Amino acid sequence: MSKKKPSSVKVLVTMVLSLVLLCVGVAILIGVFGLLVNLFGAD
């Protein structure tokens, strides 16, 4: 029972990767939005 199941480890890794990808995606969207605001607002 003390051994980790490969399936649970795979699920954990998948959840962590999904969380990281979500954070990266949000960061990119915010960066692009900020860049557009700077470009169009810097008349």
pLDDT in tens, 1-43: 567 677 899 999 999 999 999 999 999 999 999 999 999 887 6
How is 2-26 classified by DSSP, letter by letter? -SPPHHHHHHHHHHHHHHHHHHHHH
Q: Is residue 1 part of a domain?
A: no
Q: Is residue 36 part of a domain?
A: yes
Predicted local distance difference test score (pLDDT) of residue 5: 74
Q: Is residue 21 part of a domain?
A: yes
Q: Is residue 9 part of a domain?
A: no
Q: How many structural domains are present in the chain?
A: 1
Helix (H, G, I), strand (E, B) or coil at 27: helix
Domain boundaries, position 25: 16-42
